[in-house]
Structure 1
Amino acid sequence: MAVAEGACGGKAEMVSKNKNRMNRLAAAMAATALMSVAVPAATAQAATVVPRIDLRVLVVDDGGSSVAAITAELRDTGVPYTRVDLGSGSRPVINAAFLSDTVDGRPRAKFQGVVLPNENPFGAGSAESAALTAYETAYGIRQVDAYTWAHPEVGLEYTDNGGYSGTLDGTQAAVTTAGKAGPFGYLGGQVTFEDNSPLIPESYGFIAKPRTGYTSYLDAPVGSGRASLVGEYAHDGRSELVVTFGYNQYQQQFRLLARGIVDWLTQGVHLGQERNYFAVHVDDVFAPDARWDKALNCTPGDYACAGGEGKESTIRMSAADAQYAVQWQQSKNFKLDMLFNAGAGEEWKTENGGTDALTAQLIADRAQFRWMNHTYTHLFLGCVQDVTTVPWSCTKNAQGAVNWMSRADISAQIRDNNNWAASKGITTDRSEIVTGEHSGLKTLPQQTVDNPNLSGAFADNGIKWAGSDSSREPGQRAVGAALTVPRYPMNVYYNTGTNAEMADEYNWIYTSRAQGGSGACEDNPATSTCLAAPLDAGTGYLDYIVPTEARTALRHVLNNDPRPHYVHQSNLAEDRTLYPVLNQVLDTYRALYAPSAPIVNQSMKDSGVELGRRAAWDAALAANKVTAYRIGKDVTVKAPSGVAAPVTAPVGTKKQLLLGTADFGTAYAGTRSAWTSPEPLQSAVTLKLA
């Protein structure tokens, strides 16, 4: 069980009437200071010359979790930003010269949006605050107040006037009509605040009534009415997005709103793009998986299961399980990836009378699934293992060198599986592979490097994409000419076929020794926490494990993360333990989001391409080799040759071709977006906004 990521997003103390009066006075002082500040020289030209606005966001960071969450959203979606650390003595001064200048005779706004910890982190009467206000007014730049309290200076009544301040755990908030018509139209409507533990306050905030100039986008019930949690405050020629609750980057309420916050801030035009991805790989199809033994607390057949000899038992799908998988896919409009070991299936058939109803059914329904090579017989493709030691180790030859599986043997495992699939009419992408147990790739601590024969065998078979385990290697890397695609392991165990077996093994792993468990959670408190008491064998899986695992998977889905998840064929057999988890993920997602933002269920290759593009883009941003700006309705993006740029723009945007224009990007969540590059004979991407 992973440590809960939904830690407290932040607290604010109750505000006294005396403090309210002090803030009114501070606001008046700030207004007086603003009137005495000269507008930058470039502003005078702005009336006749359309300014250039660079596609970059200014983030003023006070070290709080709310600013960190928005910064993570910018970073993870590919939006360039400049961070100013308020706590640094060497930080730049935010003045007119920092914010704007002139390029080629045209006034330039260096930032298209501003993220602040609150409405005025510089203090009342500050010259920096005045400069920022003048800048936003002159260039029409929007500002996000990442987390502030409810008061008139942000367009809200104090909470003692029909509002609320306090813990928000479990609050059922909702997107307003204005929010649906505006930045949060991609949501289904409900935004429920996380409440993962009754013992830990997870979010604190203010629910308040709007005043003149304030438009609520997210509200919640207060007494017999409703009041705002997020809204736009338009005043003095400026617009602020006011957020009156604390959060961190992992909490579901922020994940749901993050896209809309960035779209509002950038007025729908920015570098970077976001999708909600979910793909599920079913490993070991055609092969049996070993079964957990409740008495031994291990898996007979595993080298580390003392006393398991002669007690081996296996779990394998039936033809009825295969039929159910097809029916389930159709009912959920979701496709599973079947990662198959044909040779293991042939061995099973030989050992069981020469017939196999499962294989026959899956071949008959082959067009219903995506298929991927998982090697012919699921051999370990790394070093030759010595399983007489615990943990296993790599054997060595007389000269002390590691014994490796040969290139020819690895290549045969890949080739023979592909050839079997072709003979049965099963379509595969031969550029993809997931080796058994991700073997051949380095496996710490025993095997510290890849099998040196692996990349050659990949080249022999045209492999470009190799699945890896994200719990070991979360990043993409090269294996010869191939690239890895990290996969998330789902906490639905390969060696269990029933709900009761799942609960039993879970209890062994996640309960203390005093509670009858392994105590592994006590030994590694940084990575897992112990259950307070063992789960009930009859109800623990559905009541506890399923919602826990579904919540973890959904967090990945909502985090613009293209890494696929993986389970095993045993999870589709017997009690079919996987489906309750997938049902909860898919049903929850589709209740949270509007049809305009569907789950992207893509192939491993497509996920690999996405990860590779992101790496190249991030490197170009880090090297300051990207130039992007908007002049009126024209958007220009320049990136290094060979680097595609992620761009998001409003519906109706056109891309300039050599001759004429074409619709830009693909529709998602109410905008258009794509990875894009200059057309032939062009040096930059040029977009025409509607």
Structure 2
Amino acid sequence: MKRTLRTTVLTVGALIAAFGLPAGAAHADDTPRIDLRVLLVSDGGPSTDAIAAELTDTGTPFTEIDLARSGRQVIDADFLADTVDGRARAKFQAVVLPDDDPFAAGSSEMAALTAYEQTYSIPQVDAYTYARPQAGLQVPTDGGYSGSIDGIQADVTDAGKAGPFGYLSGTVPFEDNDPSVNESYAYLSQPVTGADFTPYVEATIPGTSTKGSLVGEYRHDGRRELVVTFVYNQYQEQFRLLARGIVEWMTGGVHLGASRNYFSVHVDDVFAADDRWNSELNCTPGDVDCTDSDATADPIRMTPDDVDYAVSWEQSKGFTFDLAFNGVGSVDQRDDNNGVDLLADKLVADKNDFRWINHTYTHAFLGCVQNTTVVPWVCETDADGSTQWVSQDTISDEIATNRAWAETNGLPLESDELITGEHSGLRVLPQQPDDNPNLAPALAANGIDWLGSDNSRESAQRQVGAAETVPRYPMNVFYNVAKAAEEVDEYNWLYTSRAQGGSGLCEDNPATTTCLSAPLDTGTGYAGYIVPLETRIALGHVLSDDPRPHYIHQSNLTEDRIAYPVLNGVLDGYRALFADNTPVVSLRMKDIGTELKRRADWQTALQAGQVTAYRIGDAVTVQAPAGLEVTATLPTGTTLAGSAFGSAYAGAVSGWTPSTGDPLSLTLPATTATTAVTTAASTAPATDPAPHTRVPAGVAEPATATATATN
């Protein structure tokens, strides 16, 4: 039977009545209130988990319903909507489902969601669904494809660039990190003839020149669905690239929370020299764990040419290094060379090309007093067994003397930032399970508010007295190497088995993620294996809305300058993926600490139910406790009390604004309130039910790679 295509326009008031709300529920102006909260219905699979992780990281509130949990909340009209002060209220601005219809046939819950979405123009994300006519797509057997798409390059369509994915440059690479594992499974197909379906991201169907949709918008029956037909987890690059657009699509670009892509690099031990790895002894002469009496130190120190190279590189990349410095390195150099230190002269002359961080004067260990006559070292104890600690005066002297040296040399230093040598003073397991009790008072006495910590030991920000830590990612570009061959030799020692000449670390700690099945070639292993791996790990942090800085050492900027291939891989790779409106953000340490603190406070307030937000037409209202900084992402041109809100990023504006406890009232730039709902043409009925969209065999969540902490 031929269906008659028709378009029906209904007022919101009529739809509210049709939805079964109580008589008199509609407000006088008929504009409903839409709460800024997402409903996420989860099947426990990686795709809905990934979207939940993105909403959490962004700081966008959501309510999760686990379909597998007994006694869970039933989704019905009362759960989805009600009235507040006589105005109809939609409790969720978007709905995320595991697939286009995860309920049993004839489900009252799906019927309630359908009516809700039609009534309030609420968009629905199908996190991972089979390509079928009910989702606006042909089944894959009709000229499409189902299977692995590892290593393919997908494309953002013109509609995607003009719409929710306008922050991308145009390509979306799919990972292929392990040829033995199917990492990305997908259904590729074209829209059903006559369907109102707009592909946003598509890829070539294997064996053809035809494009098939991976992400697209399907409009039908007065509803809008974002149809995603590939499986993913929260760590995969393809999801990280598309996650922002998925959130922007589902929220219409109006939501609490915000995200940016961050990358900052600290270079430790500047002015000092780092001891060099000894490939025969498999240790570093000068370090406490290298006890061979015949070991001879071979220090590594930058040269003026390395400074010129660094400045030129920064200018070419539009990037700034943060140099963590030890003033005694220059003092010792001058003492040993008749007052000459060409490196320090050059760095001081170019001081404004860098940001500077106090790394203590001598890089002394500021935790317990170390007994280095044993390997591994232990803390010295008093006769009663109590730990001997480095004194508060010693810690203060390290901070203040380095600060005074910087002032004498005119370095533009932020006096409230500090990174101790080896992050010492903070607890380090197993030898020192507690912070040095003298650390916090020394920090307070010297006005330190932000203290660098090692993210591989402590990933969460925490207080040390009045100061807050700033966790830093160690890169597996080791502190004690300046040549590619040295890096590979030490890497082989750390990550191969004893039978292969290695340390056996991986045998003793099977959870280590950087283990090797065989030693790398010292001539090719760095460029061929370590650089791509470290680039991927660091770029993964950048794409995860993670502001934590990475750290390397001055030894990595000299001789073979081995840090640059990794840094180039991150920055060049990023710029190939993103449009100019989405630059990488590089913050200095105190600003990173502030961002982390704001986020923690925001998450605490969300979890406590202390924040409410809603939209009525062009007006957005946020209620939050006094003193809490509120974060939101809104369309360009949004105002707060008559002034522009936020700053531009990724085609929108976002930022933080303090709450006084009174409602914050924001005005969107142009009317986008829903006053009518259009019902699109009906599509042909499905022939067979869609297969349950389970994760295909071999698709697994990758372990997060772990770098070895370095001093």
When normalised by structure 2's length, the TM-score is: 0.90
Deviation at 1:521, TM superposition (A): 1.4
Deviation at 1:48, TM superposition (A): 4.8
Distance 1:113 1:256 in 2: 20
1:288 and 1:41, CA in 2 relative to 1: closer, same or farther beyond 3 A? same
**1:687 maps onto 2:666 in alignment:** yes
> What do you get for the CA RMSD once the two structures are aligned?
1.5
**Which region of structure 1 is more displaced relative to structure 2, 337-346 or 245-254?**
337-346
Deviation at 1:400, TM superposition (A): 2.8
Distance 1:186 1:45 in 2: 38
**1:219 maps onto 2:219 in alignment:** no
1:532-681 to structure 2, matched below 5 A, reads 532-656=517-641, 661-678=642-659
Q: What residue number does 1:109 align with?
A: 90
Contact residue 203 and residue 245 of structure 1 kept, 8 A: yes
What letter corresponds to residue 214 of structure 1 in structure 2? F
Which whole-Å deviations, capped at 9, do the CAs of 1:146-188 have from their partners, x for residues lacking one?
0001111000111122211100100110100000000000001
Task: Report how many residues are paired.
Answer: 649
What letter corresponds to residue 57 of structure 2 in structure 1? D
Q: SS of 1:647's equivalent?
A: strand
**1:355 maps onto 2:340 in alignment:** yes
Instruction: Give ranges in structure 1 of 5+ residues lacking alignment.
Output: 1-34
Q: What residue number does 2:190 align with?
A: 209
1:47 and 1:200, CA in 2 relative to 1: closer, same or farther beyond 3 A? farther
Contact residue 34 and residue 92 of structure 2 kept, 8 A: yes
Q: What residue number does 1:88 align with?
A: 69
Q: What residue number does 2:355 align with?
A: 370
Contact residue 627 and residue 659 of structure 2 kept, 8 A: no
Q: SS of 1:314's equivalent?
A: coil
Deviation at 1:47, TM superposition (A): 9.1
Distance 2:468 2:231 in 1: 39
Q: SS of 1:292's equivalent?
A: coil
Q: What residue number does 1:498 align with?
A: 483
Deviation at 1:349, TM superposition (A): 2.5
What letter corresponds to residue 329 of structure 1 in structure 2? E
**Which region of structure 1 is more displaced relative to structure 2, 431-440 or 155-164?**
155-164
**1:295 maps onto 2:280 in alignment:** yes
1:479-490 to structure 2, matched below 5 A, reads 479-490=464-475
Contact residue 628 and residue 659 of structure 2 kept, 8 A: no
Contact residue 301 and residue 309 of structure 1 kept, 8 A: no
Contact residue 67 and residue 146 of structure 1 kept, 8 A: yes
Distance 2:62 2:458 in 1: 27
Deviation at 1:401, TM superposition (A): 2.2
Distance 2:125 2:409 in 1: 57
Contact residue 522 and residue 529 of structure 1 kept, 8 A: no
Contact residue 42 and residue 107 of structure 1 kept, 8 A: no
What letter corresponds to residue 251 of structure 1 in structure 2? Q
Q: SS of 1:290's equivalent?
A: coil
Q: SS of 2:386's equivalent?
A: coil
**Which region of structure 1 is more displaced relative to structure 2, 398-407 or 573-582?**
398-407
**1:395 maps onto 2:418 in alignment:** no
Distance 1:285 1:634 in 2: 51
Which whole-Å deviations, capped at 9, do the CAs of 1:398-434 have from their partners, x for residues lacking one?
3332211111111111111111111111111001000
Contact residue 383 and residue 405 of structure 1 kept, 8 A: yes
Instruction: Give ranges in structure 2 of 5+ residues lacking alignment.
Output: 1-14, 670-711
- 2:174 pairs with one of 193, 214, 220: 193
Distance 1:40 1:266 in 2: 25
Q: SS of 2:125's equivalent?
A: strand
**Which region of structure 1 is more displaced relative to structure 2, 344-353 or 400-409?**
344-353
What letter corresponds to residue 630 of structure 1 in structure 2? R
Contact residue 344 and residue 378 of structure 1 kept, 8 A: no
Q: What residue number does 1:41 align with?
A: 21
**Which region of structure 1 is more displaced relative to structure 2, 320-329 or 46-55?**
46-55
Q: What residue number does 1:25 align with?
A: none
Q: What residue number does 1:165 align with?
A: 146
Deviation at 1:122, TM superposition (A): 1.1
What letter corresponds to residue 178 of structure 1 in structure 2? A
Deviation at 1:469, TM superposition (A): 0.4
Which whole-Å deviations, capped at 9, do the CAs of 1:552-606 have from their partners, x for residues lacking one?
0000000000100001000001100100000000000000000101000010000
Q: SS of 1:500's equivalent?
A: helix
Distance 1:447 1:345 in 2: 31
- 1:435 pairs with one of 420, 434, 441: 420
Distance 1:40 1:556 in 2: 47
Q: What residue number does 1:466 align with?
A: 451
Contact residue 416 and residue 450 of structure 2 kept, 8 A: yes
Distance 2:663 2:407 in 1: 43
Distance 1:124 1:189 in 2: 39
Distance 2:328 2:320 in 1: 24
**Which region of structure 1 is more displaced relative to structure 2, 347-356 or 635-644?**
347-356
Deviation at 1:38, TM superposition (A): 5.8
**1:71 maps onto 2:52 in alignment:** yes
Distance 2:112 2:29 in 1: 22
**Which region of structure 1 is more displaced relative to structure 2, 365-374 or 509-518?**
509-518
1:121-270 to structure 2, matched below 5 A, reads 121-211=102-192, 212-222=195-205, 223-270=208-255
Q: SS of 1:183's equivalent?
A: coil
Give the number of the structure with larger relative contact order, counting CA–CA contacts within 8 Å between residues 6 or more apart. Answer: 2
Contact residue 677 and residue 685 of structure 1 kept, 8 A: no
What letter corresponds to residue 268 of structure 2 in structure 1? D
Q: SS of 1:248's equivalent?
A: coil
After TM superposition, which residue ranges in structure 1, 4 or more long, deviate above 6 angstroms?
A: none
1:106 and 1:386, CA in 2 relative to 1: closer, same or farther beyond 3 A? same
1:392 and 1:376, CA in 2 relative to 1: closer, same or farther beyond 3 A? same
Distance 2:464 2:267 in 1: 23
Q: SS of 1:612's equivalent?
A: helix
Contact residue 32 and residue 88 of structure 2 kept, 8 A: yes
Distance 2:585 2:350 in 1: 23
Distance 1:402 1:307 in 2: 27
Distance 2:22 2:575 in 1: 48
Distance 1:576 1:42 in 2: 71
Q: SS of 2:26's equivalent?
A: helix
- 2:78 pairs with one of 85, 91, 97: 97
What letter corresponds to residue 196 of structure 1 in structure 2? N
1:298-337 to structure 2, matched below 5 A, reads 298-307=283-292, 309-337=294-322
Q: SS of 1:199's equivalent?
A: coil
**1:478 maps onto 2:463 in alignment:** yes
What letter corresponds to residue 452 of structure 1 in structure 2? P
Distance 2:308 2:29 in 1: 68
Contact residue 231 and residue 243 of structure 1 kept, 8 A: yes
Distance 1:532 1:368 in 2: 42
Which whole-Å deviations, capped at 9, do the CAs of 1:62-118 have from their partners, x for residues lacking one?
000000000000001100010001011110110000101111111111100011000
Distance 2:405 2:501 in 1: 46
Distance 1:303 1:82 in 2: 52
Q: What residue number does 1:10 align with?
A: none
Distance 1:617 1:604 in 2: 20
Deviation at 1:347, TM superposition (A): 1.4
Distance 2:126 2:350 in 1: 53
Which whole-Å deviations, capped at 9, do the CAs of 1:100-140 have from their partners, x for residues lacking one?
11111111111000110001111221000000000011011
1:63 and 1:528, CA in 2 relative to 1: closer, same or farther beyond 3 A? same
Distance 1:554 1:305 in 2: 34
Distance 1:665 1:228 in 2: 34
Deviation at 1:308, TM superposition (A): 5.4
Contact residue 630 and residue 659 of structure 2 kept, 8 A: no
**1:381 maps onto 2:366 in alignment:** yes
When normalised by structure 1's length, the TM-score is: 0.92
